[in-house]
Structure formats: C-alpha cells, structure tokens
Amino acid sequence: MPRDRSLLRGPLWVRDTLATVIESKALTGDGLVLADVWAVAVRHAPATLSETARERMRAAREIVERAAHGTQEHTYGVNTGFGRFVSRSIPEELAEELQLRLLRSHACGVGEPYPAEIVRAAMLLRANALAKGYSGAHVSTVELLVDCLNRGVLPRVPSRGSVGASGDLAPLAHLALP
C-alpha cells in the first residue's frame, strides 16, 4: 500500500490503477494461483519475471544451445524432425527456422477470436510454465511475452482448431507467432 493514503481517494480508475501497480505478480514457474491469473487477466495487474526464474531458464537454454550447436547428439525437435521425421537430422544452420516452421504449421485455428481475458490468461500461464526453466526457452522470449501482456498487446487467437492430443497446440502457436 502507498504510504500516502490520499492517493487511494478519488476516481475509481485511479485507485484501481494504483492497486494493480502495487499488486504486481512475479512469475517463478511455481505458486501461481487462480487469484493471480484473475488479477492479471481481468484486472490487468502487471506481471514480472523473477530473477530465480531467469537463472533457471538461462541454465536450461545453455543445454539447448549445446544440443543445437556443436554436438552430434540427436535432440528431439532441436536438431531432429518431429513425429515420423524424428530420424531426420536438421542442419545446424536451419535449427532456428525449424522452430518458426513448427509454429506456422500449428497455427491453424479458425473462427472468432478468444476474448481478451482468455488470451491474457493464456499468455500469463504460458509465461509461468516457461519460467519453470524446463523447456530451454530464451529469457528474452518470456520477457517479451510478459511485456506484451503488461502493455495490452495481445495476439488474435482463434477459438476453433487444434493439433495434438492435449488440444492446445494451435492456440499456443497463435500466442507465439511473430
């Protein structure tokens, strides 16, 4: 709470704006609860990426970089194809393009877009999952996702269409398209 309680008097939008600044949610990859998701998705509370999450993500990214550049070891989806193409090696110079092509191939949704609150919740949940440091994502990728979320820059995510057994690959691909 601000020390000067007079800041909390006045128009509701001023009070609500100050409250969301005060209630920033630091993503760690753990401990995100429904109230946090609601605060960010609906009330537009800001999110940040914790330093602990950054450290875990950097360590995981180093492993991915070693697999993608300079080793002959096959790492699924990093320097190999996907699915039935798992035995196909991807040349080092095409490793980044592989990831972009994967996103494009999965972004096959159609129909009306999800409401902004749903997209905001999905962005927060994706950022928090990546903050665990298990995927090897760039820290800058999650920082950009959080920055877009905080600035209200939201992708159009169609509500119909999916890929994969979990049914979330198409919407997640639309979240991540450049």
Give the residue numbers marked as catalytic. Answer: 76
Q: Which long-range contacts (CB under 8 A, 24 or more apart) does 88-97 make?
A: 92/68, 95/68, 95/69
CA distance 122 to 144: 14
What's the chain's Rg over C-alpha atoms? 19
Closest CA to 148 of 117, 124, 112: 124
Q: Are 90 and 98 contacting, i.e. CB atoms less than 8 angstroms apart? A: yes
Q: How many CB atoms lie within 10 A of CB 46?
A: 18
